[in-house]
Amino acid sequence: MGMTAAERLAWIQSRIAGACRACGRDPAEVTLVAVSKKQDVAAVAALAACGQRIFAESYIQEALPKMDAAPAGLTWHFIGHLQRNKAKLTEGRFDLIHTVDNLELAQKLQKKSRELGQIQKICLQVNVAGEDQKSGIAPEALPELAEAVVALPELGLCGLMVIPPVFDDPEGARPVFARLRELRDELSTRLGQPLPVLSMGMSGDLEAAVMEGATHVRVGTDLFGPRQL
């Protein structure tokens, strides 16, 4: 506690760099996504003032007013469970939606993107560990969903995302991260297109995720401190 925004950001960047060093990756391959859910605009502005540019939100009603009030020039991602009837509210304002896991939602996003004349970048969220009650498409059903999604012209499929089960040991999630990478590689071959994004790793397990190939780590608590709102 008591760390400044600049110190927190430097700490997370050094953790990413350390994990990259340990596995021979270039830290430039890893994008830090600052998870600002339940943080106020002042916290976003403080981190933006330190140079952070990419922020992510989980709740659409919380996100939109915050995005309006935040400093200009930031890039916003969506990482929450998106209800189909709220898909239109995204209004093309999220550069990347990490959490598409069903075709109906993809179709709603497609419709909105077409209206706006934009391409919406998305990732498919995968329930790698097969947990009950958890968002994400089952690995067995992933190819079929992905093939349907790439047929939607206003969606750009960028890659895969996972939220692993909660483990006490930060290394516990590592096989889940490794499996997501394999699923991405298989899917990329099947679709005949690159799927560059692997969105995985949070405050507690970002090192394991980076070592398994994460391109986007989503960090909230260790970047902002405890959630406020």
Ligand X SMILES: *Cc1c(COP(=O)(O)O)cnc(C)c1O
Residue span binding ligand X (CB under 6 A) among the ranges 68-76, 176-184, 190-198, 201-209: 201-209
Per the CB < 8 A criterion, the answer to whether 186 and 139 are in contact is no
Residue span binding ligand X (CB under 6 A) among the ranges 8-16, 89-97, 138-146, 218-226: 218-226
- Kindly state the helix (H) or strand (E) to which residue 156 belongs, with its residue range: strand 155-161
63 binds ligand X (CB under 6 A): no
Q: Which candidate, 58, 62, 64, 155, places its Cα nearest to that of 99?
A: 58
Rank residues 15 and 152 by Cβ distance to ligand X and give the closer one: 15
Among 70, 163, 198, 208, binds ligand X (CB under 6 A): 163
Rank residues 30 and 219 by Cβ distance to ligand X and give the closer one: 219
127 binds ligand X (CB under 6 A): no
**What span, in angstroms and rounded, lies between the C-alpha atoms of 153 and 20?**
35
Residue 152, CB-side half-sphere exposure with 13 Å CA sphere: 25
219 binds ligand X (CB under 6 A): yes
Among 93, 179, 203, 225, binds ligand X (CB under 6 A): 203
Per the CB < 8 A criterion, the answer to whether 160 and 199 are in contact is yes
**What span, in angstroms and rounded, lies between the C-alpha atoms of 180 and 154?**
25
Among 39, 52, 58, 110, binds ligand X (CB under 6 A): 58
35 binds ligand X (CB under 6 A): yes
Beta strands at 155-161 and 120-125: parallel, antiparallel or unpaired: parallel
37 binds ligand X (CB under 6 A): yes
Residue span binding ligand X (CB under 6 A) among the ranges 45-53, 82-90, 145-153, 196-204: 196-204
Q: Which candidate, 223, 196, 160, places its Cα nearest to that of 15?
A: 223
220 binds ligand X (CB under 6 A): yes
User: Total number of residues binding ligand X (CB under 6 A)?
Assistant: 13
Rank residues 101 and 152 by Cβ distance to ligand X and give the closer one: 101
Query: C-beta of 218: minimal distance to ligand X in Å?
Result: 4
What are the φ/ψ torsions at residue 198 (nearest 5 degrees)? -120, 100
Per the CB < 8 A criterion, the answer to whether 37 and 29 are in contact is no
Rank residues 39 and 120 by Cβ distance to ligand X and give the closer one: 39
Q: Across the strands, what pairs with 54?
A: 75
Contact residues for ligand X, defined by CB under 6 A: 35, 37, 58, 79, 163, 202-204, 218-222
